[in-house]
Amino acid sequence: MAIKLGVSLYSYQSLFLRKLIDLEGAMQEIQKLGASGLQMLGEQTPLRPRYPRLYQPDIDRWNELCAKYGIVPTCLDAETYPNLYAHRYLTAQEQADQLEDDLRYAHDLGFKVVRVLCGVDPEVVKLAIPAAEYYGVKMGLEVHPPLSLDGFAVTRFLEMADKSGSKMLGIIPDFGIFRKGCEGHTMYYAQVMGADPDVLEWINQCMKNDVPDEEIQAELRRHGCDDPLYMRLATDFMRNYQEPEKLKAVKDFILHFHGKFWRMREDYTEVSVNYAEVFKVLKEMDWDGYICSEFEGQRAYMGQACPYEEDEIEQVRRQHVMMNRLLQDA
């Protein structure tokens, strides 16, 4: 029983976009970290000819690369497209068929789990159970902020899983639910753009103290700080901190973790995600499985006029130093 580490290629998305890294290069980076897990999105990773089609030469190459770099495919992020057409919403069966494409794709590449986006209707997942059984690939509901581990969406999904009698369903918590305070990348962006560091830290403390957005915004306005840089930071419908202890109640359903983070400092600490406490709880639970890095700090600095960007590879490296230290802590 052990916690193992990996990387979601989502972390390297801007490198993939500009072809500054390819699949083999990404696997090399994972190997350099001493990690083995690989998570990815079919629609983002440059496997060709074209998603969701795969032919034997593509599968052979994938397997060769995985063997060469010691890679274990852990989780494929499934996307469903209910809004595929402008004039109508897809039926549940059509969406389940899309999920089946991902299950087959995952099976062919050796992934054992697909991530189901948190917005997907449980009815869609239910309809895809026969495909999951057939391909031997489990479906995990993404528990992404602002969802709660014991909230309506997760409870409803787990009830459906229980009634179905299938062993192919579970959940995939995203570490974003363990954030206390402002997202690190947004706070840093505001600082670079000229916001006052003391005001930023004040907003951060308000968030840590669970002060509602409206009260923070009103106080900012009262002090003349109504600039969008401040107001954006104080408008945060994604914050819904979950006590890591809650993981114990759903332990048997956890298939995988998305190691979400937004900004790693040079001292190997994440600005606001409570990694230390989660790792402590996971070790107490004797949880066995993969945590794959999911760097999402790109969202702050991709504006056309933004004068900086982060090094995605370095951000992931720092996070792995932190996670390895937490694994070694008694």
**Residues that bind another protein in the complex, under the rule CB under 8 A:** 10, 13-14, 16-19, 41, 43-46, 50-51, 79-86, 117-120, 189, 193-196, 198-199, 202, 205-206, 209-211, 215-216, 219, 223-225, 227-229, 232, 298-306, 309
Residue whose token pair is 């951060």: 204
**What's the chain look like in SS3?**
CCEEEEEEHHHHHHHHHCCCCCHHHHHHHHHHCCCCEEEEECCCCCCCCCCCCCCHHHHHHHHHHHHHHCCEEEEEEECCCCCCCCCCCCCHHHHHHHHHHHHHHHHHHCCCEEEECCCCCHHHHHHCHHHHHHHCCEEEEEECCCCCCCCHHHHHHHHHHHHHCCCCEEEEEEHHHHECCCCHHHHHHHHHCCCCHHHHHHHHHHHHCCCCHHHHHHHHHHCCCCCHHHHHHCCCCCCCCCCHHHHHHHHHHECCEEEEECCECCCCCECCECHHHHHHHHHHHCCCEEEEEEECCHHHHCCCCCCCCCCHHHHHHHHHHHHHHHHHCC
**Least distance in angstroms from the C-beta of 212 to another protein:** 9
Q: Nearer Cβ to another protein, position 198 or 266?
A: 198
**Least distance in angstroms from the C-beta of 219 to another protein:** 6
Closest CA to 109 of 143, 77, 142: 77
Distance CA 271, CA 263 (A): 6
**Least distance in angstroms from the C-beta of 74 to another protein:** 18
**Least distance in angstroms from the C-beta of 314 to another protein:** 18
**Least distance in angstroms from the C-beta of 283 to another protein:** 31
Q: Nearer Cβ to another protein, position 251 or 299?
A: 299
144 is catalytic: yes
Q: How far from 193 is each of 2, 189, 197, 263, 301, CA to CA, in Å?
A: 42, 6, 11, 16, 11
Residues paired with 113 in a beta bridge: 75, 138
Q: Nearer Cβ to another protein, position 44 or 240?
A: 44
**Least distance in angstroms from the C-beta of 280 to another protein:** 26
**Least distance in angstroms from the C-beta of 209 to another protein:** 4
Q: Of residues 107, 144, 258, 320, which has the active-site annotation?
A: 144
99 burial type by CB count under 10 A (0-12 exposed, 13-18 middle, 19+ buried): buried
Q: Nearer Cβ to another protein, position 106 or 199?
A: 199
Which residues are catalytically annotated?
144
